[in-house]
Structure 1
Amino acid sequence: MRSIADLLLLENLADVNCQGAEYGNVLQVASWMGNKDMVQLFLEHNADVNAQGGKYGNALQAACWRVQRDIVLLLLEHKADVNAQGGEYGNAPQAASWTGNRGIVQLLLEHNADVNAQGGKYGNALPAACWRAHKDVVLLLLECKADVNAQGGEYGNALQAASWTGDWGIVQLRLKHKADVNAQGGEYWNALQAASWSCNMDIVHLLLDHKADVNAQGGYYGNALQAASYKENKDIVQLLLEHQADVNAQGGAYGDALQAASERGNRDVVQILLAHKQDIDRSMHLL
């Protein structure tokens, strides 16, 4: 039974589909809040279930992000477009994957959600799930033919997102499913640079074992060695140098690894890099 306040609201609402404010429209607000009765009421008064706008793009994406399963079901019953694009997360499957609710992700897929739909902060559903380390959702998406090498979003691809987060199991899973260890794109350009910046030693080891290019250039820090030097992680710096990282490589925000380490004032890393430079200079002199 609906309250008098609910009914008065609708009587005085000039347009149930009026757009504006952070959540775009009243249906998106009610979906985000988890108020099923209000969602039902708006729908009965001809609210556009697929109205676009606001932070979450549409009501379905808002309900998915807030893990409101009952409202997701209700919206789908009213023909919500499961693949509608827009909002911070690009689409409902990406929002649901980010939250890690396997049941809602499964529900969307059963309603023909495009597992590889592009857009939003993370590019698609798989990197969103990887970034949040939701292994059960990652497995579900892979079972539904998610493209492990799809490019896009802040982290470039799923492997880079998982490497930045530091979940060894998900990185291993990505590699078993033929993820391109040297795929380029995103803020950190590749998985090795992301793992080096995040100081994830085990993942750096794993990526190097799978033939990650230690000298791949690109991204904010230019290469993995510069990223590790800036983050003052002498163990990763040493490991990268042992795998033939070029101590003189140019590029990135700090020009080279030595400048990055100097910027942070880390004496240990500076000494490691200088010693390596001297070894290279001696070798070149002998040649």
Structure 2
Amino acid sequence: MITSGVATREGTALDNADAAKVYVLADGTVGAAVVDGIGHGPRTSATAPLLAETAARYTAHRGALPGILGAGLLVADRGPDGEEADAVAVTALADDAGTRVAWVGDCRAYGWDGKRLALHTTDQTMGQWVRTYGPPVEIAAQYDNWVRVSLHSATVASTREIEVSDPLIILTSDGVHDQIDPAVLEQLVADHHEDPQRLAEALVAAAQEDELGYRDDATVVVLSISHEQIAKEPEMSERLPATVLLLVGDQAEITTPTRGHTDPERVSVERLERETGLSRDRLPGAELVAVVGDDGALLRFERP
């Protein structure tokens, strides 16, 4: 069973340009989205809920990546007056096979496994680019508000997508993770992880004003997937040989008999470390076993 919590809190500047939506299909599949409007243009606050609704519904039906791209189509054109809204977003598809997350910009997805809070996404900002590639990281914070990819510009190539196996998924706008001390954020998750709605409300309430008195809009979606649902393995499952080709940042590229080197499967390094017991430096070239459900979903990885 998947339960959810949603909360949003208007910031100190104009009206709320954030939005969130959780959409549930008849079979229990959940699509969720957090959208953070860029600025406070004439259409931003009105458009953000439409983008969240579209992203969540697309995600539930088609997947996390199509959720981002579907919402992006609504704002792909600037309009006759050039004032069309734009936003960044994160989506999550949760079902009995696990969770897939996609994002553009600096919305984030965290996972809680009962012991630790892990950040599974990497901000698509110029500040993060500077931290990764240089110049001096001391200037990176000056560019954290420079978003490199948004819904307006989202493509298959520029939208990031990962698998997450944690039983608790937390989607946030930057008004949450940028304005709550990381230690406080993790403690709130530890305190309220059994109640998704209470956790969502606690996180948006914890966002603090900066030294200039500014507090951004803050929005959270929490998805709690029961242990039984995550661990459930279809009666008809298949075990396939899998090879880790290489690691790219926090992602591993893996080949199987159905996914060759030109179109490898991409999964998080953290997941492989947890499921196989192999450290990061031992993963490149590792021969593994992929357990695949009858619907083609990757259930887990094992060492042969």
TM-score range, shorter chain: under 0.3
Whichever structure has more strand as a proportion of its residues is 2
Whose Rg is larger? 1
Q: Which has the higher helix share?
A: 1
Higher relative contact order (CA 8 A, sep 6+): 2
Normalising by structure 1, we get a TM-score of 0.24
Taking structure 2 as the reference length, the TM-score comes to 0.23
